[in-house]
Structure 1
């Protein structure tokens, strides 16, 4: 069994946030953080693939939620967050406290959801990081690399490895540090 690291998947999620911020720059909101500093806000729009990846990034400390005054009075969390680390910092960060098989399954489920909701079963390499092929696809046995321009999920292998564990052995499906497991 070969697995991409959780750190490599965290990097891909943060890359996606930066990619989307850049793509929507003229429409992005600027909201105050907890210190009143205006931050360019990433909005996950309550779309599951970005909502889940944002939860991974927030737990890992790569992004931080922007909380409005209205949200402090309610249990409903808003869709806005902002990156607190650059991609270089993320690449160098020590995410070893998150390297568990449960977190791998959570992150890979989230990544699979992201790919399915944005490009189908084929990974669109035009919107993945330059590190994706080496750090994720070639390191994990759930991907089929069909050349430098085509990577697909092996759906059967994904089901056997990730979804079997997800359904049978993960009663609590959260992304969390090893010490809080």
Structure 2
């Protein structure tokens, strides 16, 4: 779980950097201006942001006209499109996310990661390694049987295994929410 969370946060940092000249700076909960990540209501980034907010890796930001009372919809998705990293990648790398280690959370995170790959790679089921962290190959792909590693430059989803392992449970889930074990 921690490795997927790291990949989501890595993606946020990459997108903030790539959009730097267009990013908004919004006040956080203490009035400090933060460079905002904007998920643009695109599902792959909405869902990954919901994971990052739940684990405390990012925090929501609001435009002055947005109500702070609006938090999440029934799927746990943040209502506003803006957030900021609340931890560095180094902090995320050593953080203990064991309280989120459930099979349902794994399925939520893998479904989200699959969406993200589909949105960012432009290749059918192939992971664009240029958009992933240097840790991805060792910490995610080599440890999960839903991936096929065809060398250091090619990783693909094993679609049959992904469907069997992740999507079977995904379709069975009554509530698709990423949450702590004690809130299950």
Q: 1-side partners of 2:50 and 2:159: how far apart?
A: 24
2:40·2:81 contact (CA, 8 Å) conserved in 1?
yes
After TM superposition, give the deviation of residue 67 of structure 1 in Å.
2.1
Q: 1-side partners of 2:20 and 2:67: how far apart?
A: 27
Deviation track 1:19-45 (CA, whole Å, cap 9, x = no partner) reads 111111111111111111000000000
2:100·2:179 contact (CA, 8 Å) conserved in 1?
yes
- Provide structure 2 residue ranges, at least 5 long, that are not aligned to the other structure: 72-78
Q: Does 1:165 align with 2:169?
A: yes
Aligned Cα root-mean-square deviation (Å): 1.2
Over 3 Å counting, the alpha-carbon distance change for 1:155 and 1:91 in structure 2 is same
Q: Does 1:178 align with 2:173?
A: no
Q: How many residues align?
A: 175
2:26·2:62 contact (CA, 8 Å) conserved in 1?
no
Question: Does 1 or 2 have the higher relative contact order (CA < 8 Å, sep 6+)?
Answer: 1
- Provide structure 1 residue ranges, at least 5 long, that are not aligned to the other structure: 1-5
| TM-score, normalised relative to structure 2 | 0.92
From the two aligned structures, give the one with the greater helix fraction: 1
Which residue does 2:114 correspond to in 1? 112
Q: Does 1:49 align with 2:53?
A: no
